[in-house]
Structure 1
Amino acid sequence: MYIHLGGEKLIRSSQLIAIFDISIEQSSKLSKQFVQHAQSNREVETIGEEDPKSIVITEKKVYYSPISTTTLKKRAHYIDN
Structure 2
Amino acid sequence: MFIHLGGEKIIRAAELIAIFDISIEASSKISKGFITNAVKEKITEHIGEEEPKSVVVTVNKVYYSPISSTTLKKRAQQPLAL
TM-score range, shorter chain: over 0.9
Q: Cα RMSD over matched residues?
A: 0.6
Identity %: 66
Quote the Cα distance in structure 2 between the aligned partners of 1:28 and 1:13: 27
5+ long unaligned stretches in structure 1: none
5+ long unaligned stretches in structure 2: none
Structure-1-length-normalised TM-score: 0.95
In the alignment, what sits opposite 2:5? 5
Q: 1:27 Cα deviation (Å)?
A: 1.1
In the alignment, what sits opposite 1:17? 17
Quote the Cα distance in structure 2 between the aligned partners of 1:64 and 1:30: 18
| Superimposed CA distance per residue, residues 47-66 of structure 1 (whole angstroms, 9 cap, x where no aligned partner) | 01100000000000000000
1 or 2, which has the higher helix percentage? 1
Quote the Cα distance in structure 2 between the aligned partners of 1:54 and 1:28: 16
